[in-house]
Amino acid sequence: MVAVEKSFVSNMFSVEGKVALVTGATGALGCVLAKAYGYAGAKVFMTGRNDKKLKALENEFKAEGIDCAYAIADPAVEGQVDAMIQACVAKYGEVNILAVCHGYNKPAGVLEQSVEDWQKIMDADCKSVYVVTKYVAEQMVRQGKGGKMVIVTSQRSKRGMAGYTGYCTSKGGADLMVNCLACDLTAKYGINVNSLCPTVFRSELTEWMFDPESAVYKNFLVREPVGRLAEPSDFVGYALFLSSAASDFITGANCDCSGGYLVV
């Protein structure tokens, strides 16, 4: 007898009715994942630091029938993160999914980069992950229903690069933190924690890299078996998978979303 139920297979990718909290929701990837959760039937609570952009997203999403709300918060500041989570709970009663999509970089070589600039990168990309996951984990434990955490890091967590002593270190730390969080949270509390490690994807900051005639683009394609750079929508399927019951046996994974960059 095959030990699988039809109802599980039919619904294993569903996040309908879940509450998804998305940080960095005004960014190129954050806004796409937030809308994807909404299209999939989740209630979406967005956070970021730009009230005008968040309000515009809220209006856009609601016009498409997505149940959503937002709060302003710096993900590296404990008090703001705590208040943001409480606002989400006040609105929707709980948090079931956390998608960490915020990030920051200011590239510079070690001889040129100040300690202060390096620390700002670490705070934005590593400390903030600890703060957000800690407070969301506390909320999920209080709820007693488990949960899913999807942390966006980078393929740069696995590869060094000139001028990236801050960024690579912060993303590498975040990926190792994901491994540790899984050890802390999954078996005991049913909270799965995984990271997505994307390659370069299109945004306002990276648009210049997408010129097919440029040396930068051609150099990237040498190490991109998929044959192109990424669009934010390329990560929707992976994020929904890691947020659903389909991934219940996956935790502590640093998931390669690099188009094959890491295998070349």
Compute the distance between CA of residue 141 and CA of residue 188 in angstroms, rounded to an integer: 10
Catalytic-role residue among 167, 189, 238, 261: 167
Compute the distance between CA of residue 154 and CA of residue 145 in angstroms, rounded to an integer: 29
**Structure-token pair, residue 252:** 């502590």
**Structure-token pair, residue 205:** 């900051």
Three-state DSSP state, 263: helix
Compute the distance between CA of residue 33 and CA of residue 231 in angstroms, rounded to an integer: 12
Instruction: Report which residue type is found at 236.
Output: V
Three-state DSSP state, 51: helix
- Torsion sign (Cα): 218, 223, 226, 231: negative
Radius of gyration of the chain (CA): 18
Q: Is 70 annotated as catalytic?
A: no
Compute the distance between CA of residue 95 and CA of residue 21 in angstroms, rounded to an integer: 7
> Residues with catalytic annotation?
167
